[in-house]
Amino acid sequence: MENRFFHRLVSIQLFQGLSTDDFMNIAERVHFDFRTVAEGENLLEEGDPCEQLMCSISGVVCKEMRCDNGSYLFKEYSSTPTVMQPERLFGLRPRHSATFTAASEVQLLIVPKHEVRDILFKNIPFHINFLNMVCSAQHLWETRLFHPLPQTLHQQFLHFLLMRSSRPAGKKELIIDMVTLAAELTTTRLRVSQMLNTLKENGLIELRRRHIIIPSLEKLIQHAQ
């Protein structure tokens, strides 16, 4: 049982690098809450207070972020163990900025905030992993801000997606109308429609009413190079 529990922990990025002694110390002191969530259920809501560290161990998690004026919704999917907004656990506004839902049955690991702060931060591998995760996210955003704006409409659309993605890979969905997307890309609705239909013909996206599905963002990136 202990070996199984250990392997479940180290599948999560925050717990990688643990020794057996680290594991035993943590298991004796920290209350880990394991839950199974059915497909379609919400894991976290945008605006919820971030009072616990929530990680998926298995299953597919969908992260949803809505534009401030409600004009579009961006979704991205992760089938690998995911730590949900650890940077929101502390700081000036410790509330979640996205909604997370279970896109399949999901197994969760939940740790109360006070146990992260008072116990887990005293474990060096965990503390380093936490800092690396938060710092890496900050480095990524800073790098993106200073990239030159792309020239072609295809590259501009890709830039729009990347600026809203947690990672440059995997399945993404954009729920938006053509007029709004044209305004975001500072072009005409006709040009946007032509660009999207070209991507569709190349098998890079799927189009539905007010719905753009990108099955593999890495393929879209490769095609734009």
Domain residue ranges of the chain, discontinuous segments joined by +: 2-145, 153-224
Assess contact for 218 and 171: CB atoms under 8 A: no
Give the start-end residues of each E strand in 15-98.
33-37, 42-44, 52-58, 61-66, 73-78, 82-83
pLDDT category at 138 given cuts 50, 70, 90 is confident
How crowded is residue 101: how many other Cβ atoms within 10 Å of its Cβ? 19
Distance (Å, whole) CA 40 – CA 61: 10
Tens of pLDDT, residue by residue over 16-69, are 888 878 888 888 888 889 999 999 999 999 999 999 999 999 999 999 999 999
How crowded is residue 215: how many other Cβ atoms within 10 Å of its Cβ? 15
Residues of the chain with pLDDT > 90: what percent?
Answer: 72
Alpha-carbon distances of 206 from 8, 174, 185, 198, 200, rounded to whole Å: 35, 11, 19, 11, 6
pLDDT score of 1 more than 70: no
Would 2-145 and 153-224 be classified into the same CATH topology?
no
Pairing between β-strand 99-102 and β-strand 82-83 as defined by DSSP bridges: unpaired
The third-level CATH classification (topology) of the domain covering 2-145 is Jelly Rolls (2.60.120)
Give the pLDDT confidence score for residue 202 in this predicted structure. Answer: 95
Tens of pLDDT, residue by residue over 158-204, are 999 999 999 899 999 999 999 999 999 999 999 999 999 999 999 99
Among the ranges 32-36, 68-72, 212-216, which has the highest mean pLDDT value?
212-216
Assess contact for 151 and 145: CB atoms under 8 A: no
The third-level CATH classification (topology) of the domain covering 153-224 is Arc Repressor Mutant, subunit A (1.10.10)
